[in-house]
Amino acid sequence: MKTYIIAEIGINHNGDIENCYKMINTAAAAGCDAVKFQLFRAKNLYPKSAGMLDWLDEHKAYSYDIYSSVEKSEMPEGWIDKLMVYCAEKKIDFLASVFDKEGCDFLSAHGFKTAKLASYVATNIPLIEYCAKRGLSIILSTGGATLGEVFEAVETVLKYHNKLALLHCSIQYPTQLKDCNLGVIETYRKAFPCIDIGYSDHTKEVSEAAVQAVYLGARIIEKHITLNKDMTGPDHFFALEPHELAKMVADIRKAEGDCEKKDFCIDEVIYGSSEKKIYSHEKHLRDFAFMRLYSGRDICPGDLISANDINILRSGKKEHGLEPKFIKFFDKYKITAKKNIKFEDPITWDCILG
């Protein structure tokens, strides 16, 4: 069976649609099946009070306001139709990650049949259910999630349809080969035998992990691409340049042939563990970017809190709110505030119990 290869453009367009066209050309020439973009709006992703982000790549240190940086990385909606047409001309699929209900509605309105959901959405059960209700096929990355959380996400989708694929990955950028733990692919294949399993690869290496994933039964491979690793931005330095992408695709196609001939070996280091859990190298980004409940207004003690008063956002540097699945309680029951809750404060049990 042919592996479906997704070239993740993401935010590596750097605000220039010409970069998108160039990367689409690169992906098509390399033989990829799809390119993928990210449809997000800062207002639906982080609180404005999320704080500062400090990080270090191989060349220099960075420090910037989280919300402002995300806002600058938004892809203009006006690009979508142009990029869809261009992808059709190049005979390559257009895919997009969505992070909120608005993004899901946008895809549906434009006739898309598939939504990609990032690992940071894996516990956002309300959004997963919303996409499933709309009938969209879902490709869900699962880095940083527990097996129990993955089961909950899968069960949510299966209430509506079975058009679902799971991607194993690690939320470490770049992922070290020793941290890939591709054994989880086998765990997924046993736990979810009727669902396509794939791998979203964040390693710097061109194809070592991707090839091993194919040997283990992955049917989808996703990898970030760039025009040049030295471009400004957090996702360039570990992404594949055009010549590397072409090599990865060729290596994956060869691996498919190896599988048919049963002529391959599993690398024990890359295989790692088959246990699906929150690994130590994932904890920081899970705490930083998994979705939580935050207040959408100032709330006084005794105020009734409805779901409309709550936003589902990434934490950034803020204290964690409740997991998104608990938002349903605020629609189902009359819940009042037990203390002052300021705009963008986390919604916690302490806010409503006591």
Q: How many CB atoms lie within 10 A of CB 137?
A: 17
Q: Where among 238, 271, 304 does a domain terminate?
A: 271
Instruction: For Cα atoms 308, 310, 314, give the angle at the middle one, nearest 5 degrees.
Output: 140
Pair (61, 208) in one structural domain: yes
| Selection from 248, 230, 345 nearest residue 292 by Cα | 345
The angle that helices 125-133 and 147-158 make with each other, rounded to 10 degrees, is 30
Structural domain contains residue 277: no
Pair (257, 301) in one structural domain: no
What CA–CA distances, in Å, run from 324 to 29, 142, 268, 341, 346?
A: 41, 16, 37, 18, 12
Structural domain contains residue 19: yes
Pair (264, 342) in one structural domain: no
Q: Where among 204, 236, 271 does a domain terminate?
A: 271
Pair (238, 301) in one structural domain: no
Per-residue pLDDT at 319 = 97
Question: Is the omega angle on the peptide bond into residue 193 within 30 degrees of 0, that is, cis?
Answer: no
Total number of domains constituting the chain = 2
Pair (197, 246) in one structural domain: yes
- CB 206 within 8 Å of CB 177: no
What is the pairing mode between strands 220-224 and 196-201?
A: parallel
Give CA–CA dist 89/124, Å, rounded.
Answer: 35
Per-residue pLDDT at 93 = 98
Pair (175, 28) in one structural domain: yes
Structural domain contains residue 166: yes
Q: Where among 237, 271, 305 does a domain terminate?
A: 271
Give CA–CA dist 262/120, Å, rounded.
Answer: 36
Q: Give the range of the structural domain holding residue 188, as residue numbers without chain letter.
A: 4-271
pLDDT tens over the chain, length 354 residues: 799 999 999 999 999 999 999 999 999 999 999 999 999 999 999 999 999 987 666 666 777 899 999 999 999 989 999 999 999 999 999 999 999 999 999 999 999 999 999 999 999 999 999 999 999 999 999 999 999 999 999 999 999 999 999 999 999 999 999 999 999 999 999 999 999 999 999 999 999 999 999 999 999 999 999 999 999 888 999 999 999 999 999 999 999 999 999 999 999 999 999 999 999 999 999 999 999 999 999 999 999 999 999 999 999 999 999 999 999 999 999 999 999 999 999 999 999 986
Per-residue pLDDT at 57 = 64
Q: 3-class SS at 300?
A: coil
- CB 219 within 8 Å of CB 1: yes
Pair (33, 178) in one structural domain: yes
- The CATH number of the domain holding residue 200 is 3.20.20.70
226 Cβ contact partners less than 8 Å away, ≥ 6 residues apart: 12, 23, 235, 236, 239, 240, 241
Per-residue pLDDT at 252 = 98
Residue 120's Cα: distance from chain center in Å? 6
Pair (66, 214) in one structural domain: yes
Pair (122, 225) in one structural domain: yes
pTM given for the model: 0.96
Structural domain contains residue 278: no
Q: Enter the DSSP assignment of 207.
A: S
Pair (184, 331) in one structural domain: no
Structural domain contains residue 279: no
Pair (299, 267) in one structural domain: no
Structural domain contains residue 13: yes
Burial of 118 (0-12, 13-18, 19+ CB in 10 A): buried
Structural domain contains residue 312: yes
Structural domain contains residue 281: no
The secondary element (H helix, E strand) that includes residue 103 is helix 101-109
